């Protein structure tokens, strides 16, 4: 399994002011490249925390993707923290610098804008069709936090990020509580370790139910488990709802 850790950098997520929308997007896109996100961390805009966390996770996961903190203001400190974590200098990238100079601006505005041209020595660019790029240093990819910019940078992942087989998953719903079929599910899971079988209850004023999610890199094994789950649901007098209960 090829693994990734997502580092979401930003006080606005930790305070609850902003709800993160990047993790689910990144997880699904990385999965298409055969990379499984096996951990995510949300950390504050604090240099020591960013440096220490990055140095911990970059040796424990195949890839690390960071989001946030690469704009032109004082609270954008990700690039300098990545440089510090790797023990390299922060240098001006000539390509980004030229991009910044292509739109004239007063000196002070240009100085701030050029903060975004600084990347760690040895880093390469992660392209962004709609604005300043992110960058890659070894197995660490540094992306914007604004969802539109982050998503534009992810388009540059193919070729840079190389994984194994993607996980495929399917969902079956049932208008049952979890407990009646819990033992049956446990038996199916025990007999099929190559398929992950997750059970997610849904509580509704009208009618509660469950969604059962089968995930595997082996589509045939996934389908075989789904058939066993359909039969388990039928044994309890219900018909499985294909694609799950909304």
Q: Based on CB atoms, which residue is closest to its own copies, 32 or 95?
A: 32
Which three-class secondary structure state does DSSP give residue 153?
Answer: helix
45 close to 11: Cβ distance less than 8 angstroms: yes
Q: Please provide the size of the chain in residues.
A: 246
Mark residues 214-243: x for contact with its own copies by CB under 8 A, - for none: -x----------------------------
- Measured at the CA of 95, the angle between CA 90 and CA 98, to 5 degrees, comes to 110
**How near is the Cβ of 26 to its own copies at its closest, in Å?**
7
Stretch touching its own copies by CB under 8 A, among 120-128, 154-162, 192-200, 225-233? 192-200
Stretch touching its own copies by CB under 8 A, among 16-24, 81-89, 120-128, 220-228? 16-24
Q: How far apart are CA 134 and CA 198, in angstroms?
A: 35
**How near is the Cβ of 225 to its own copies at its closest, in Å?**
13
Mark residues 31-70: x for contact with its own copies by CB under 8 A, - for none: x----xxxxxxxxxx---x---------------------
Instruction: Specify the pairing of strand 209-216 against strand 168-174.
Output: antiparallel
23 binds its own copies (CB under 8 A): yes
Stretch touching its own copies by CB under 8 A, among 88-96, 121-129, 198-206, 225-233? 198-206
Instruction: Specify the pairing of strand 118-120 against strand 209-216.
Output: unpaired
Q: Which CA distances in Å does 209 have to 4, 36, 128, 129, 181? A: 32, 28, 43, 44, 12
| Span 110-129, contacts to its own copies by CB under 8 A | 110-113, 115
Q: Based on CB atoms, which residue is closest to its own copies, 110 or 234?
A: 110
Q: Based on CB atoms, which residue is closest to its own copies, 183 or 194?
A: 183
**Beta-ladder partners of 125:** 135
**Beta-ladder partners of 116:** none
CA nearest to 174, candidates 202, 215, 216, 204: 202
Which three-class secondary structure state does DSSP give residue 112?
Answer: helix
Q: Which residues form the interface with its own copies (CB under 8 A)?
A: 11-21, 23-28, 31, 36-45, 49, 71-75, 105-106, 108-113, 115, 146, 148-149, 167, 169, 178-180, 182-183, 185-186, 189-190, 196-201, 203, 213, 215
């Amino acid at each position: 399994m090829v693994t990734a850790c997502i580092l979401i950098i930003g006080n606005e997520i930790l305070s609850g002011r902003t709800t993160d929308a990047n993790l689910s997007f990144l997880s699904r896109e990385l999965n298409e490249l055969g990379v499984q996100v096996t951990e995510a961390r949300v950390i504050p805009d604090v240099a020591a925390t960013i440096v220490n966390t990055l140095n911990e996770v970059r040796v424990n996961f195949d890839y690390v993707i960071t989001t946030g903190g690469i704009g032109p203001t004082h609270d954008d400190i990700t690039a300098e923290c990545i440089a510090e974590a790797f023990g390299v200098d922060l240098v001006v990238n000539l390509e980004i610098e030229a991009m910044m100079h292509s739109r004239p601006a007063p000196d002070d505005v240009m100085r701030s804008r050029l903060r975004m041209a600084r990347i760690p020595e040895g880093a390469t660019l992660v392209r962004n069709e709609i604005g300043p790029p992110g960058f890659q240093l070894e197995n660490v990819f540094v992306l914007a936090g604004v969802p539109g910019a982050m998503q534009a940078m992810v388009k540059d992942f193919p070729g840079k990020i190389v994984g194994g087989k993607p996980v495929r998953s399917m969902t079956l719903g049932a208008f049952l509580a979890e407990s009646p079929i819990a033992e049956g599910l446990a038996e199916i899971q025990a007999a099929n370790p190559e398929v992950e079988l997750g059970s997610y209850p849904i509580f509704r004023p009208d009618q509660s139910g469950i969604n059962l999610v089968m995930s595997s890199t082996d589509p045939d094994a996934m389908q075989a488990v789904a058939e066993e789950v359909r039969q388990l649901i039928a044994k309890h007098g219900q018909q499985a709802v294909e694609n799950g209960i909304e």
